[in-house]
Amino acid sequence: MVDEDPYLWLEDVTGDRALDWVRRRNAESVGELTGGARFEQLRDEAREVLDADDRIPYIRRRGEYFYNFWQDAAHPRGLWRRTTLDSYRREHPNWDILLDIDALARAEGENWVWQGAAVLKPEYRRALAELSRGGADAAVVREFDLRTREFVVGGFQLPEAKSRVGWIDEDSIYVGTDFGPGSMTASGYPRIMKEWRRGTPLDEAVTVFEGKPDDVAVFAYHDPTPGFERDFVGRAIDFYRTEKFLRTPGGLVKLDVPEDAQTSAHQEWLLIRTRTAWSVEGREYAPGTLLAARFDDYLAGGRDLTVLFEPDGRTSLESWDWTRNHLLLTTLADVHTELHVLTPDDGWRREPLAGAPELGTAEIVDTDPDHSDEYLLNTSGFTQPSTLAYGHVGGGTEVLKQAPARFDATDVTVEQHFATSRDGTRIPYFVVRPRNGDGPTMLTGYGGFEVSRLPAYSGVTGRGWLARGGTYVLANIRGGGEYGPDWHTGAIKENRYLVYEDFAAVAADLTERGITTPQRLGIHGGSNGGLLMGVMLTRYPELFGAIVSQVPLLDMKRYHLLLAGASWMAEYGDPDDPAEWDYLGKYSPYQNVHQGGTYPPTLFMTSTRDDRVHPAHARKMMARMAEQGHDVRYYENIEGGHGAAADNEQLAYKWALLFEFLWQKLTA
């Protein structure tokens, strides 16, 4: 078969020819964008925000301590550390440093990036720490002793892979990793889960569950809640459908719920959140409904379900979190956060939980479901710096930390508007702008995977854009989760075009309201949002003055063959199916950019170490557009994984490139 893609060689991530091409393109963009005083100011301002000592060090309780991971100028790779609540209340807490990633990287001659750690309950003396090279998703796993602050000699350890690990007890873990041929799915994640006993070689670990090659991944985990100890295994059939089983001495017991439902267990309760309509014993539950049942009764066949949340046309369930005795719900009403407390008594008592701002976001950061009814609540808004509060259900709250303002928002206004998409659907969006500003407008959005984009404070955007007179716009388009599952599922696969019509409608509405003009409207987005930018580039170029596409999907003909791409076919479709390629091919940016087209100036940004979305998407799009003579430039960071930055220095540099490009092109 004749290959019709002349740029397949750019899919060789670390090939000499491909990297030589990357270096040349990087040099061109760096030379164009970084030479002036404004770039240096943008970079330094962003770095100052990212490294500021008075940032809130967000914490998570693990037993008697609160844990934090911290990066700053002196510790670019970061410190894993912990403290007590009393110490945290002070202006300068006394931090107990567990692991210095910078020191570790120097000692071992490795480019380590912290990926987190699973700490063993209930003593919290051991952890399974994950470290990646350069920020990739693939990581090494090493057992760490929190008392000695050292890695355990002869402890649990895995080489670099996209592994899944979790504690069962001090001497055994669940592990899914690259065991050899056939052990990983087509998406590059574990297909087999095993139980691994301490002191035995990995090849003697006992298989407890196997998925299918075309599954996204498999999983296994242990719930150590005293009196309710349970083990679960299962398979992610695709990005939204799961089969879950309770692992018992007598074998696996399937959790009989719809494959696309989300489930969780807490003590005696089973929670089920529907993604599509579900009919049970003559009653139908709408998509996005949260239901509760007693776990043992449900497994025995009972279907006594209590509705804890039911959406309507304006509201959706964003998240839920258990304390020991209560369930905290975070809901959205036209993208405005509301908080609720539900208490299981004879029925389920529902009360409001104070703390949500009017035009901002409230987020439950952490709870202590094993021991107490405490919670940590973070609030912020576009012009409201973050506040971290500590409270107990039924009691008061105290402010633990308050982030200072990073830019002067005295005369910055926040408004919510609604655009009308082509099919008549109302699309909400937020406009943040100086009252008397006359600068260009920067619009962003995501529109995929049921991910909600909510109002939040960004000192980087505030300094780099708003403080310089620019207008910032956030679009809540379909494909996200702002109005629940239907807002997402109604815009996948063959209906994907709705996402793009929504974003175009917001852009047009901004012009119609006189907020901006196409020549002064720039857009940016990453990952699925990078695909959104690519579609705007090729289908709606007349609406924009400049476009930045970051770590994007762009070649939808081959996305399922590159890295984790196969896992997203439930979202986009299968390009090998002619019927599905028929709609994919209509918007795939790589196949729809043409030499005769007129496109706004464009910047593609990605990372060599991104092992989730292949850098070849951006590489090939850049190569094709350059060959066709379009106004395009490219920057690829060698490190950074899917975030395209491994530390704050790289992140500040990336933001400065983005801002400088937009300021240049929108104010020329």
Chain-centroid distance of CA 437 in Å reads 32
CA distance 66 to 47: 26
The domain limits of the chain are 65-161, 322-404, 420-666
CA-wise closest residue to 493 among 567, 576, 590, 569: 569
Report d(CA 575, CA 489) in Å as an integer. Answer: 19
Taking the alpha carbons of 631, 637, 638, 644 in that order, is the dihedral positive or negative? negative
* Alpha carbons within 13 A on the beta-carbon side of 650: 21
Percent of the chain at pLDDT > 90 equals 94
Tell which CATH classification among 3.10.450.50, 3.40.50.1820, 3.30.1490.20, 3.40.50.2000 matches the domain 420-666: 3.40.50.1820
pLDDT of residue 638: 85
- State in Å, rounded, how far the first CA of the chain is from the last one: 47
CA dist., res. 18 & res. 583, Å (int): 31
**For this structure, is 588 an active site residue?**
no
Question: Which pLDDT value is given to residue 3?
Answer: 52
Scanning 34-84, the segments in alpha helix (DSSP H) are: 37-51
Query: What pTM, to 2 d.p., does this model score?
Result: 0.94
Active-site hit among 266, 336, 630, 642: 642
- Closest Cα partner for 131 from 149, 110, 156, 145? 110
463 Cβ contact list (under 8 Å, min separation 6): 45, 46, 49, 406, 407
**pLDDT-flagged residues of the chain (< 70):** 1-3
Catalytic residue among 386, 527, 567, 588: 527
What pLDDT does 1 receive?
A: 32
Residue 372: its H or E element: none
* Predicted local distance difference test score (pLDDT) of residue 2: 37
Scanning the structure block, which residue is given the tokens 């706004």? 600
What per-residue confidence (pLDDT) applies to 188? 95
β-partners of residue 366 are: 376
Q: What angle in degrees, to the nearest 10, is found between the helix axes of 528-539 and 578-587?
A: 70
- Determine contact, residues 657/34, Cβ cutoff 8 Å: yes
Tokens (6 digits) for 572: 């986009």
d(CA 19, CA 25): 10
Secondary structure (3-state) at 263: strand
527 is catalytic: yes
CA distance 333 to 311: 10
- d(CA 396, CA 402) in angstroms, rounded, equals 17
